[in-house]
Amino acid sequence: MTANRDGNEWNRRRFLAMAGVTAGAGMLAGCGGLANQEFIADTVVLPAADQEELGFTSLVEETDRREYSRSVAGQDVNATVESAISVYAQTEFEVDFGDSGGPLLFRFDGGEDGLFAEVSEKLAAPASAFGVVGGPLANVNPNIGTEQLVPAFLTVVIGGVGKIEGAVVAGLMLGTLQVLLIQTGNAAWSQVGIYALAALVLLVRPQGLLGSEVDVS
Amino acid sequence: VSDEPRDATATAAADADAEVTGGFADRWANFRDREISTVLLTVVGVAVFPFLFNNFLDGYTQLATLMLIYGIFAVGFDILLGYTGLLSFGHAVFFGGAAYAAGIFSASVSSSPLLVLLAGTAFAVLLAWIVGFLSLRRGGIYFAILTLTFGQMSFYLAASPLAFLTNGENGFTSVDIGSLLGVIDIHGGVPFPLSMLVDNMLYVFVAVMTVLSVAMANRILHSPYGTVFRAIRENERRAEFVGLNVWRYKLMAFIISAAFAGIAGSLFAIEGNYVPLESLYWTESGRIVIMTVLGGVGSLFGPLFGAGLYLYIENIVSGFPTLGPFWHLILGVVFVVAVVLFPDGIWGGINYVRDMVVGGEDE
């Protein structure tokens, strides 16, 4: 048994209750459904009629399918990524484009870069819901702290400064909301949503969800 | 310029030997306290700055322009932090928001620089009304966190859901700035007498705005209104008991400060012909806090120097042969040294040195 700073005792029952809440909320957030995901890019092709008009011939029009598997917090997470690529070359007509002699090449890419960002975001969601840092998923770069600092700070403040349970509950709330927004097709709003929730909590209950009364004026 | 005690006369009269010094300090204080002299000093400062900067400090006019833009931003921020005592950690939302508003206005309504400036500033003021109205319900650290939250919210709004307006992560690239008053090419050269000092019309435009902003800040801070701001900083409760509506004054200080950020943001869009998404990120809010503290909180001119020094280290020192890559570290060391040795920033340091030399002002 240990005591935290406020002198509250952490006993086994309390710990189990917290763990139960954590696991329950994780399941409610629908993380199970996140374990298997498919990401399919729209194929970008130049219609045959346009090809003829512009004098382009298709060199490559193909799709590529890859499987990714990771283990996140003991859960196996699988993702299938299908990307598309199309390449066209101008062969029939000579169009004057200045000095650039030689045939023109047009390349349409099914947005693999963008897809990867989305893949990492979606894979990172269950990790945060389980309270595990998404180290293996996010790229480790010098800016990694800059991106995580503000959400971490907010989590502590809206949970209530000095309350460990508060941080857990706030982290779960923010993570759950983010996952919910992504899962319901509002991925664009997922980041905005957690800040809106944070602002709401700070306005309604500035001492934090589990914080004790303080002078906030 | 500042609100120090002005009893140099008494000191000088008591000591016959110091009469010359005291007389000088007295006349200097008289000169300084007139509004017109503050404006004149600023005019002279911005007029000779690019010449000195380009010839002796390895600078270039574009950076000098950027320094003035951030200087306006910092002067406005100081009205809030230094004079009213409120630390906002989300001022990027007004700077970046105004830049986006100005950029979008220039692309779709009118490309006249003055109208673009007006549109950006108006947007910042309206936004500040809303954000201030909500955030000022809380004080101290809770106010700082609320402003930070709104700042981050706006960053992610611009990044994704509003990408059809802001062009998302690529930044707003279609800024279209026309000629000033229909005749003056803002990116062109300047006519003869001015061309001895400045080589570019954009700098003149930004410099005029800087002088106007400093004059406006000076007028506000030396009016009874500004005195109320200082009273709130010193003791909010006492100000309230005197019968002042503290909340209203705080909201106005927030809005005035955001208006300066709006002017700076619009000029930033005009200057770069581009609005990066990072102009809304929280690091931008952090930058302006550092610039203001480095220059000296609670002084009118300090923040201008702070912005200049910050951008100098970021852009010039970072290009030095061996020191260059360590510019972040250098900035940190400069910040720590400034805070430890001169808690009132560069301007506090300048005052300290001046008082040592003139000997008239310190008590």
Q: Give contacts of B156 with chain A, Cβ < 8 Å.
A: 191-192, 195
CB B114 within 8 A of CB B278: no
Answer whether residue A102 shows pLDDT above 50: no
Q: Quick: pLDDT tens for B241-252.
A: 988 899 999 999
Mutate to test the interface with A, among B136, B152, B285, B287 (most CBs of A within 10 A): B152
Of A140 and A198, the structure prediction assigns the larger pLDDT to A198
Of A132 and B138, the structure prediction assigns the larger pLDDT to B138
Mean pLDDT of chain A: 66
Please report how the helices B92-108 and B140-159 are oriented relative to each other, as an axis angle in degrees rounded to 10: 30
Count of CB pairs separated by less than 8 Å, A with B: 52
Query: Is A144 an interface residue toward B (CB < 8 Å)?
Result: no
Give the span between the Cα atoms of B122 and B229, in whole angstroms.
23
Query: Are the beta carbons of A216 and B138 separated by less than 8 Å?
Result: yes
Q: Which of B138, B139, B153 sits opposite A192 (nearest CB)?
A: B153
Give the span between the Cα atoms of A65 and A81, in whole angstroms.
6
Q: What is the pLDDT of residue A196?
A: 92
List beta partners, residue B23: none
Answer whether residue A136 shows pLDDT above 50: no
Tokens describing residue A203:
């306005």
Mean pLDDT of chain B: 86
Residue A21 pLDDT class (50, 70, 90 cuts): low
Residue of A nearest to B157 (CA): A192
Query: Are the beta carbons of B152 and A196 separated by less than 8 Å?
Result: no
Residue of A nearest to B147 (CA): A199
Q: Which residue has the tokens 């609670």?
A: B298
Q: What is the pLDDT of residue A150?
A: 83
Gap from B255 CA to chain A (nearest CA, Å) = 19
Q: Which residue has the tokens 């992560």?
A: B169
When pLDDT is averaged across residues A84-109 and rounded to a whole number, the result is: 49
Q: Which of B139, B149, B283 sits opposite A146 (nearest CB)?
A: B283
When pLDDT is averaged across residues B171-182 and rounded to a whole number, the result is: 82
When pLDDT is averaged across residues A184-210 and rounded to a whole number, the result is: 87
Lowest mean pLDDT among A132-141, B58-67, B219-228: A132-141
CB A111 within 8 A of CB A85: no
Query: Is B133 an interface residue toward A (CB < 8 Å)?
Result: no
When pLDDT is averaged across residues B71-81 and rounded to a whole number, the result is: 94
Tokens describing residue A91:
């062969």
Query: Is A198 an interface residue toward B (CB < 8 Å)?
Result: yes
User: ipTM of this model?
Assistant: 0.77
Q: What is the pLDDT of residue B98?
A: 95
CB A121 within 8 A of CB A79: no
Q: What residues contact residue A57 under an 8 Å CB cut-off, 6+ apart?
A: A51, A88, A89, A90, A91, A92
Please report how the helices A112-129 and A12-28 are oriented relative to each other, as an axis angle in degrees rounded to 10: 150
Query: Is B43 an interface residue toward A (CB < 8 Å)?
Result: no
Q: Give contacts of B161 with chain A, Cβ < 8 Å.
A: 188-189, 192
Query: Are the beta carbons of A206 and B142 separated by less than 8 Å?
Result: yes
Q: What is the pLDDT of residue A2?
A: 43
Query: Are the beta carbons of A192 and B145 separated by less than 8 Å?
Result: no
Query: Are the beta carbons of B149 and A202 separated by less than 8 Å?
Result: yes
When pLDDT is averaged across residues B253-264 and rounded to a whole number, the result is: 96
Q: Which of A146, A195, A217 sits opposite B149 (nearest CB)?
A: A195
Give the span between the Cα atoms of B170 and B84, in whole angstroms.
37
pTM of the model: 0.72
CB B314 within 8 A of CB B66: no
Measured over the CA atoms of residue B59, residue B61, residue B62 and residue B67, the dihedral's sign is positive
- Cα dihedral angle (B309, B310, B312, B315), rounded to 10 degrees? 180
> Hey, what amino acid is at B164?
F
Q: Which of B134, B152, B156 sits opposite A203 (nearest CB)?
A: B134
Give the span between the Cα atoms of A105 and A214, in whole angstroms.
66
Q: Give contacts of A216 with chain B, Cβ < 8 Å.
A: 138-140, 142
Q: Which of A187, A199, A206 sits opposite B150 (nearest CB)?
A: A199
Query: Are the beta carbons of B149 and A198 separated by less than 8 Å?
Result: yes
DSSP letters, chain A, are -EE-TT--EE-HHHHHHHHHHHHHHHHHTTHHHHTEEEEEPPP----HHHHHHHTEEEEEEEEEEEEEEEEETTEEEEEEEEEEEEEEEE-S-----TT--S--EEEEE--HHHHHHHHHHHHHHHHHHTT---TTTS---TTHHHHHHHHHHHHHHHH-TT-HHHHHHHHHHHHHHHHHHHHTT-GGGHHHHHHHHHHHHHHH-TT-SSPPP----
Answer whether residue B207 shows pLDDT above 60: yes
Of B18 and A43, the structure prediction assigns the larger pLDDT to A43
Q: Give contacts of B157 with chain A, Cβ < 8 Å.
A: 192
Q: What is the pLDDT of residue A43?
A: 62
Tokens describing residue B179:
């000629």
Q: Give contacts of B137 with chain A, Cβ < 8 Å.
A: 203
Percent of chain B surpassing pLDDT 90: 47
Query: Is A152 an interface residue toward B (CB < 8 Å)?
Result: no
Nearest alpha carbon to residue A106 among A41, A42, A61: A61
Give the span between the Cα atoms of B233 and B299, in whole angstroms.
14
- Grouping H, G, I as helix, E, B as strand and the rest as coil, residue B298 is coil
